[in-house]
Every structure is written in C-alpha cells, then in structure tokens.
Chains A and B, each alone.
Chain A
Amino acid sequence: MIKKRLGLLAYILFVLLPIYWLIIMSFKTNEEILGSLTLWPANFTFDNYITIFTDPSWYMGYVNSITYVALNMVITLLVALPAAYAFSRYKFIGDKHLFFWLLSNRMAPPAVFLLPFFQLYSSVGLFDTHLAVALAHCLFSIPLAVWILEGFMSGVPKEIDETAYIDGYSFGHFFIKIFIPMIRSGIGVTAFFSFMFSWVELLLARTLTSVDAKPISAIMTRTVSASGIDWGLLAAAGVLTIIPGVLVIWFVRNHVAKGFALGRV
C-alpha cells in the first residue's frame, strides 16, 4: 500500500515538476531566476502577467493563435463530416484507396510543405492571415478527422438512416437532428485532435505569418533580445499557453474516453 503510494507520488513528482517549475518561474523576477535556486518565489510578482495582458504585441499573439485554431476546428469539422459520411455509407470506385491515401499527408513532416505554402499564399495574398494558417493546418487535421469520424459513423447502422427517411426526415434534417447527436463523442474526439495539432504546431504558423496573424509561440521567441532573455515573461507566456489546452481536455475528457473505447482513434 505504502509502496504503491510512493510510486504514485514519484510519478506525479516527475510529471508535474517541469510544470511546477514553469509556474513558479513566472512569478519570479529575472534576478531571482538567474541568481539562486529557490523552490518558492522570494519576491512574489505579477509583473510578468501584467506585461502580457497590457501589451498588445503580447496578448494579440493569444488572440491570433486562438483565432486560427478555432477556424481550423470549424473548417475541419465542416469538411470532414460530409466526407466521412460518404466514405461510411457509399461505395464508389477507388473509395478504399482514396480513404487510405488520405493519410499520406500525415506521412511527411509539416516542414516539407513550408515552401509550397509560403509561395502559394504569398502569390494569392493570403500570407499573414489567420485563414492561411488554418488552411495549412487543415491539410493535416482533415484526413485524420475523416479517418476518426468514419469509424464512428460506421458504428451507426444504416437502418437508422433509412428509418429516418421512412419517418419523413429529409437528408439534411436527419443529419443534424439524428445523426450528429449519435456520433457526438466522435465529433468531440475529432475536435480535440484538430485543436491539439493546431495549438502546438509552430513551424507552419510562424512561417506563414509576419505581423497581423503572428501566433503566441512565435512571439515568445521575441524575448530573446539584446539585453538577454526575459525568463520570467517567457515562463508566464508558457503558463498561459498551457491553459487553453487544459480547458479543452477538461471539456472533452468524457468524449475522448468513450472515443478511445469505441471508435478509430
């Protein structure tokens, strides 16, 4: 019993230590961070957070990130839902091959697509917009979303669709009123995965933006300046970056658990 608890304690310690360190760093001053090893801030300060929330060049980073992440999630679901439905319900020539090769984009590292995206977006005037980053991320999140959703949709018997038509539902009405509620766990899981991909992705987001749509992850590198690194500010930004992810996981945790058990994740 005690051994088990010790094991658990050690586990929590190792998992949470970096996060703990990040959090206390964000409440320290730069002098303290660089000066000595302290387990608790000697001069507890909110200055780092105040800087982030008052300086537009900082907080706009969060706004930009959240904007393109939300945009990515919406586009992904809007495109992947009908696509997955088609794959799960209809037979057409090459459907199985197409379904498999959908994932081919995910077989290459995102960096491969940097140059084509940069060139393409510059020439059509999409460069440095939220839509640019969202669309670039869709290249990776949509195939995975189709793959996951198809698993959930195939779990719904086709007879449900037919019964609905017999009852008098039109296709659209059926899809929204009957079908989507039946696969809501799958939608939760899909949204979670596309959020996670888009929120942590740095390379595409940084390359495809310059000023107006600059994501928080790119702004964080700005703290490397002539006067050295602003450790405290950087830590505070890091803490604020974790929060949205934690919130999203909190809200979809039941769906994700069900999704792992039922569908294709």
Chain B
Amino acid sequence: MSLVLENIGHTVEGESHLTDINLNFESGSFNVLLGRTLAGKTTLMRVIAGLERPSEGKVVLNGKDITDVAVQKRNVSMVYQQFINYPHLTVWENIASPLKLAKLAPSEIKKRVAQTAEMLLITDYLQRKPLELSGGQQQRCAMARALVKDAQIILFDEPLVNLDYKLRESLRHELKSLFKSRESIAIYATTESAEALALGGTTCLLHQGKVLQTGPALEQFYHPKNLQAADLCNEPPLNRFQASIHKQQLSFIQDISLANTLHLKELVDANYHFAIRPDHLTLQSSNQPELVLQTVVDLAEISASETYLHVTINNGVETLSWVAHLNGIYQFHTGVTLTLFAPLALLYVFDQNDNAHTWPNLLEAKH
C-alpha cells in the first residue's frame, strides 16, 4: 500500500499554493510535513483528503488514481489544529459516528470504540459532551474518531499546537507509539523542527508551496540541501557569513588556513556562504583551527539551563547578527565585547545559489 503524489500543483485565484509536489508515502510509515505557516502544509493535506481538487497532478493510492474520488469514499481521517468534535453528541457517539456510517454491527462498534477510548485514555468521559472536557481531552476525542475507523491515510494538521507544553509532549509520545503497530500512512504537519525531530520518521520540508527536501528527520537536520532547508530545521537559525576562499585561505575578518580541515580543504577558490549552528559557537578555544570572533553582546536570553546569546559582529563591511546557544547560565551586560570561537570543522558551506556544498561531518559522529 502506498500513496503517491504526482506533480501536484494548486492555484487559487491566480495565487500558487502548491507547485510541482512529488512525494511517496509508504504504508506503515510516519511522515512529517515541516514548514512555516502558509508553506502549503494544510493545502497539501486537503488535497490528499479530497477536500480540495488539485489544479494539476494526480493523487495515486495503491496504483489507483483517486484524484476525483469524493472525500467520503477515500477512507482517510483527519485531525485539525482546532478541536473539532460534534458538540451535540456525546464523546461515545462522536467516536462511533464513522463506524455507524460504515454500517458496522453494533457489537463491533461497541468493541472498537471501547478499545480506541482506552488507548487514548478517555474511557471515563465517554458519556460526556465534548465541550464539557478540557482541551487535551477534546483533542483526544477528535483523535479517537480519526483512529477508530482504521483509515488508510491519517492526517494530522498541527494537532498539538493549541495544547499546553506538558500535554503536547505526552500526547506526541503516545501518538508515536500508537503508530508503531499500524499499517496506515500517517502524515503529520508541524511548524516546529523540534517536534519533527521528536516524532522522527520521514520528514518533508515545505517552503512556499514547494518541497525543499525529503528524507529521515536527522539527515535533514544535519545535511540540509540548501539555506532555506537549513533555516527551517534550525531554531534559532544558522549563523551565516559570506567569505571568499583563495588558495586554501579563508578570508573572514582574519585569514585562516583550511589545510587541516578535512571537509574544507578541497574547496575551489570562490565566494561562499558559510554557516555555523548556534550551539557550535563556544566561549573557550578548542585548540583546533577556528575563527576567533570579536562580538558585542545584544541580549542574553536565559531559558532554564541554557543561554541564548544574541551578538553582533562587525566584519568591516556589514554588521552580522548571530546567536550563540550556550549550555549553562551566563549573564552578560548589553554592549560588552566578547570573544567567540567558531571551529572550522563545524562550518556548513553553501554556494552562491544557496545550495549546500559541503556539510561538517556530524551525522557519522552521532551514530
């Protein structure tokens, strides 16, 4: 069983919402659509569900073109960001409604509703109306209704956004384990890269209606194909600078030799975009080839046991705003000058067209 999107394009009133989407979803897979608001995640889901007909391309399920199949006949289910339940029906009736419509035997309906309710921990609330429940329970009810009918495709459109932090973590965890034993295709849309990473599975990066990159979540995180993809996957975004390479010398404020840095020494002489992750900047020298940067502190944001240090760097041509993500709590006054170290071995290199040229060797080290 597989779902294939072929050259999907969607234009509404002259405005292009999706362009040239080619994706492949395998049965039993958990897929994440990662993109900012208005990236086209919801539109893509609506196309898959059959709520919207794409202006171009085909939706193919198990080798059969279902582009023109009505939503009622598609055997999909969907969970929205808002808690969507039928307010005049009890939780039990809500969960049972897709089964009743599928004309299942009453005993079977009872069994399945009980099972699903137990899975989502709402057995105690089955006789209540959805609006009498808390937000988390309402969303559990909506999820139960989506899961109960064993749909081939289950779509989650940012289902946890309206929940508080704690609930979000536990529900996300449950969701992941729920899908381990399922044969259906799950597609989950989110704006947060951290959530995409936590869910794992295949991640598809969407940007302005186009697919930037697809693949395992970790790979996208460490090996972004271009700068947009890198920005989507990293929060705060990568720190960037432009510099030229001449005869294995990197000129950025100071000249530094690349001869001892494995992934940079082969670079042809040219201008490049370089980038470094905020968590790779350090306050201490690593005694390896590195950029030594004089910075001015703008703001030190402290969150629990981490510090986000917003700094500016003047390279003589322009002022760059960077963020350093430091472990531990550091208090700096605004305007203080500070030396930060950027190890060359951790630099990302992008060419002038924003496409990735080489990545630092991070993924292998993690395995």
A182 interface hit (Cβ, 8 Å): yes
In whole angstroms, what is the CA distance A258 to B49 when docked? 35
Residue numbers in B under 8 Å from A168 (CB-CB)? 72, 98, 101-102
State which residues 69-126 of B face A: CB under 8 Å.
71-72, 76-78, 80, 82, 84, 86-88, 97-98, 101-102
State which residues 171-224 of B face A: CB under 8 Å.
none
- Please, which residue of chain B has its CB at the minimum distance from the CB of A184? B88
Residue numbers in A under 8 Å from B88 (CB-CB)? 178, 181-182
In whole angstroms, what is the CA distance A169 to B88 when docked? 16
Interface bits A147-187 vs B (CB < 8 Å: 1, else 0): 00000000001011011111111100100001001100000
> Is B86 a contact of A159 with CB atoms below 8 Å?
no
> Is B84 a contact of A160 with CB atoms below 8 Å?
yes
Residue numbers in B under 8 Å from A178 (CB-CB)? 86, 88
B51 interface hit (Cβ, 8 Å): yes
B145 interface hit (Cβ, 8 Å): yes
Number of contacting residues on B, CB 8 A? 20
In whole angstroms, what is the CA distance A104 to B357 when docked? 67
In whole angstroms, what is the CA distance A159 to B158 when docked? 14
Closest CB of chain B to A159's CB: distance in Å?
A: 5
Q: Provide the main secondary structure of the chain A interface.
A: helix
> Is A159 a contact of B80 with CB atoms below 8 Å?
yes
In whole angstroms, what is the CA distance A157 to B84 when docked? 8
In whole angstroms, what is the CA distance A181 to B87 when docked? 9
> Is B72 a contact of A170 with CB atoms below 8 Å?
yes
In whole angstroms, what is the CA distance A165 to B75 when docked? 10
State which residues 31-81 of B face A: CB under 8 Å.
49, 51, 71-72, 76-78, 80
Residue numbers in B under 8 Å from A167 (CB-CB)? 77, 97-98, 101, 145, 149
* Of the residues A159, A162, A169, A182, contact of B101 by C-beta under 8 Å: A169
Residue numbers in B under 8 Å from A165 (CB-CB)? 51, 71-72
Q: Provide the main secondary structure of the chain B interface.
A: mixed
Closest CB of chain B to A161's CB: distance in Å?
A: 9
* Of the residues B76, B84, B145, contact of A159 by C-beta under 8 Å: B84
In whole angstroms, what is the CA distance A178 to B77 when docked? 18
- Please, which residue of chain A has its CB at the minimum distance from the CB of B52? A162
In whole angstroms, what is the CA distance A160 to B87 when docked? 10
Residue numbers in A under 8 Å from B149 (CB-CB)? 167
- Please, which residue of chain A has its CB at the minimum distance from the CB of B98? A167
Residue numbers in B under 8 Å from A166 (CB-CB)? 49, 51, 71-72, 76-78
> Is A159 a contact of B97 with CB atoms below 8 Å?
no
In whole angstroms, what is the CA distance A9 to B80 when docked? 54
Residue numbers in A under 8 Å from B80 (CB-CB)? 159, 163
Residue numbers in A under 8 Å from B84 (CB-CB)? 157, 159-160, 163
Residue numbers in A under 8 Å from B51 (CB-CB)? 162, 165-166
- Please, which residue of chain A has its CB at the minimum distance from the CB of B151? A166
In whole angstroms, what is the CA distance A165 to B98 when docked? 10
Beyond A162-B51, A168-B101, A181-B88, is A157–B82 a contact (Cβ under 8 Å)?
Answer: yes
State which residues 73-102 of A face B: CB under 8 Å.
none
In whole angstroms, what is the CA distance A24 to B84 when docked? 56
Closest CB of chain B to A34's CB: distance in Å?
A: 57
In whole angstroms, what is the CA distance A176 to B362 when docked? 58
Residue numbers in A under 8 Å from B49 (CB-CB)? 162, 166
Residue numbers in B under 8 Å from A159 (CB-CB)? 80, 82, 84
9 sampled A-B residue pairs with Cβ under 8 A: A159-B84, A163-B80, A163-B84, A165-B72, A167-B101, A168-B72, A168-B98, A169-B72, A182-B88
The 6 closest A-B pairs by CB, nearest first: A168-B101, A167-B98, A181-B88, A165-B71, A159-B84, A159-B80
Given contacts A166-B51, A167-B77, A182-B87, 16 further A-B contacts (CB under 8 A): A157-B84, A159-B82, A159-B84, A162-B71, A162-B78, A166-B71, A166-B77, A167-B98, A167-B101, A167-B145, A167-B149, A168-B101, A173-B101, A181-B88, A182-B86, A182-B88
